[in-house]
Amino acid sequence: MNFADRIIEEVLVKKSHVCVGLDPRWQRIPRSLRKNYGGSRPDTAEAARQVIEAFNEGLLEAVKDTAVAVKPQIAFYEIYGEKGIEAFWNTVKIAQNKGLLVIGDVKRNDIGSTAAAYSRAYLENSSPVRDNDRVLPDAITINPYFGSDGIEPFLQSCEKNDRGVFILVRTSNPSAAEVQDQKLVDGATVGEKIAGMVAEWGDSLKGENGYSPVGAVVGASCREEAAELRARMSSSYFLVPGYGAQGGGVEDVIPCFDYEGLGALVNSSRGIDYAYEKDEYSDDYRRAAKKAVQDMSEKINSALAEDPGLAWEEAE
């Protein structure tokens, strides 16, 4: 089944549009989990692997019924070298065993022949080694700076293996505008230009619900911009970062959805992973995370129920 159709199936079952980022930051992992492994920093990379996996296992169990997807951000694993990468891949497996879609937030890309190697590493079932039992993510994030020949290998993997990509279009960080909002001579911004390319790349791959596996990262930072991008990429699922810790609220994410209240997965990372730091359930990071996901999901669902189609009206 097309990756977007798989998302929609889960969204309808779980009545949730939430994606939980898994960004293990050592010093914010509950003390009880790490106290025997080195306190302020891990004793060894192997200790880091064990603590990260235990932390993620708890989070995944807590959010598995109310989150649709999880998004491990690989930078926080790469810090620990090969042991961190082991934790990343084990996290992918644990998450999928709990029925969660997994978006590997790797933001890779390169020239075509190298992009093919990345695509093989993350999205290809054809095993690179004989004894491999690696469980792959359902999708990854990728960077568009190389143009179409850096994208093509990923599209092939998506089609062949029912996987997906989310291509960076408009990110949620303060300086995103420096590149992405630059005006081109044809009147579009760089981000809008890339949005048009994303729409074309996905055009021939649409599934039953009209969505292609070629999604877009569209940050929760500007309502008008989100509405414009939704209109330009009508068959792309959006992965919407920036909710919560980065300052985006529910009103910012609503224009990313379509008329039927589909089309966007809203991500929160720190706001869920470390909800325990300022929560009534401060003694149990899992209960705190579960409650944070429920709250977030309810807010999004209520706003969608009140305001269907808002994004489209504003864009027209």
DSSP symbol at 254? G
Tokens of 8: 């929609």
Residues 168/174, Cβ–Cβ less than 8 Å: no
Instruction: Kindly indicate which of the ranges 64-72, 104-112, 155-163, 227-235 contains the residues binding a second copy, using the contact rule CB under 8 A.
Output: 104-112
Catalytically annotated residue among 93, 98, 107, 193: 107
Cα-based distances in Å from 118 to 144, 152, 201, 279? 14, 12, 18, 39
Nearer to a second copy among residue 212 and residue 221 (C-beta): 221
The nearest distance, CB 294 to a second copy, in angstroms, is 25
Task: Sort 73 into a burial class: Cβ within 10 Å, 0-12 / 13-18 / 19+.
Answer: buried
What part of residues 3-42 is at the interface with a second copy (CB under 8 A)?
23, 26, 38, 41-42
HSE (side-chain half, CA atoms, 13 Å) at 49: 14
Task: Sort 302 into a burial class: Cβ within 10 Å, 0-12 / 13-18 / 19+.
Answer: exposed
Instruction: Kindly indicate which of the ranges 55-63, 184-192, 248-256, 260-268 contains the residues binding a second copy, using the contact rule CB under 8 A.
Output: 184-192
What part of residues 61-80 is at the interface with a second copy (CB under 8 A)?
73, 75-76, 78-80
What part of residues 257-316 is at the interface with a second copy (CB under 8 A)?
none
The nearest distance, CB 193 to a second copy, in angstroms, is 6
Compute how many residues bind a second copy; rule: CB under 8 A: 71
What part of residues 191-210 is at the interface with a second copy (CB under 8 A)?
193-194, 197
**117 lines the binding site for a second copy (CB under 8 A):** yes
Please give the radius of gyration of the chain, using alpha carbons only, rounded to the nearest integer: 19
Nearer to a second copy among residue 207 and residue 241 (C-beta): 241
Cβ neighbours of 128 (radius 10 Å): 10
93 included as an active-site residue: no
Task: Sort 41 into a burial class: Cβ within 10 Å, 0-12 / 13-18 / 19+.
Answer: exposed
**108 lines the binding site for a second copy (CB under 8 A):** yes
**231 lines the binding site for a second copy (CB under 8 A):** no
Q: Which residues are catalytic?
A: 107
